[in-house]
Amino acid sequence: MHTHLTDDQLAIVEATGDFAREHLAPHAVAWDQAKHFPVDVLRKAAGLGLGGVYVREESGGSGLGRQDGVLVFEALATGCPSIAGYLSIHNMVAWMIDRYGSPGQRARLLPGLCSTEALASYCLTEPGAGSDAAALTTRARRDGDHYVLDGVKQFVSGAGTSQVYVVMARTGGPGASGISAFLVERDDPGVSFGPNERKMGWNAQPTRQVLLDGVRLPADRLLGAEGEGFRIAMNGLNGGRIGIAACSLGGAQDALERATRYLSDREAFGARLLHAPALQFRLADMATELEAARSLLWRAAAALDRGDPRAPELCAMAKRYATDTGFEVANAALQLHGGYGYLAEYGIEKIVRDLRVHQILEGTNEIMRVIVARGLTGAA
């Protein structure tokens, strides 16, 4: 599946895959069960340039494109989709700061983010504003040379551990045009966090509310200009969506390979299960669906790299198709394991649980259909 990649891309896949096999896969089930967030391993990943994948080299990043990035996150997710998913979000935030930040903001924040000495989180969703993100109610009130933020952000990956938060808050009237983006730091007075959510999957990273109670920020914490926050948030999500799509493919690819090995080792009715035509056909369909999703994902990544006007639509297509396909393939791999697939020690049930949320986060797959439909119909 990598025959047409450049030598540099092949080296990226090999190095990232080796890292996933050595540092993620052996510990993934234990981290999931203990709800352990392996920050030390994230810092090891930064040694490969994975803390600032899309950040420009002059800002301390790796300066890679989106086509390179989807290779990175697919390879990482073969070791642990939860950790790969968090790194995708961290890199989305780092890119937003590199793309829209002032020289001072970039110089102050990006070195720590690229080294993962500081981690980053994305704060858009609220308890009452999920799919309708433009309806958010967190407010940022201008007070002289400061802004004062009040509100609650929901489902924030890395919250409590991350040092840097890109927070969308309302500075103007209703709708998207009244939203601005702010750089909030963990130790700012008035910032606190809810309890770690009890989740179906993604247990190797914390998910908490971010509580903003009169958080007073200097005006230079504004990211971009007033009223640009929603555009910044959506542009960040285009890349975030294909990152999560890549994580789904990596997790599902690992599940497919586990199922193939299991069928090769297991015997029933006097023959290896792998020799049964019906099971061979099932594996063939799983592999075909993954390859189709991968092709769409790579096309979307290429469109984002070249600034294609259809990139948001293609990213939505790829996110919807790859995350649906990834979950279905992982679930089929569990079924092929029979009762053993339901046991934690085989690792399959964790992959299924981790991949399920990919159909929800970075915009639900129903919203992805809305984005595609708007592109087709021209509807606002």
Cite the active site residues.
362
Task: Round to whole Å and give the CA distance between 80 and 73.
Answer: 10
Which residue carries 């968090």 as its tokens? 86
**77: nearest Cα among 330, 286, 345, 338:** 330
Query: Which secondary-structure segment (H or E) carries 153?
Result: strand 146-157
Task: Round to whole Å and give the CA distance between 364 and 104.
Answer: 35
Residue 80 in contact with residue 38, Cβ under 8 Å? no
CA–chain centroid gap for 69, Å, is: 11
State the burial class of residue 284 (Cβ atoms within 10 Å of its Cβ: 0-12, 13-18, 19+): exposed
Residue 181 structure tokens: 């983006």
Helical residues (DSSP H) of 20-79, grouped into ranges: 28-34, 39-46, 66-77
Which residues are within 8 A (CB) of 3 and not within 5 positions of it... i.e. 6 or more apart? none
State the burial class of residue 264 (Cβ atoms within 10 Å of its Cβ: 0-12, 13-18, 19+): exposed
Tell me if residue 336 falls in helix, strand or coil: helix
Radius of gyration of the chain (CA): 21
Q: How far is CA 159 from CA 36, 53, 208, 245, 252, in A?
A: 14, 21, 5, 22, 27
Question: Measured over all CA atoms, what is the biggest interatomic distance in the chain, rounded to whole angstroms?
Answer: 80
Residue 113: what residue type?
Answer: L
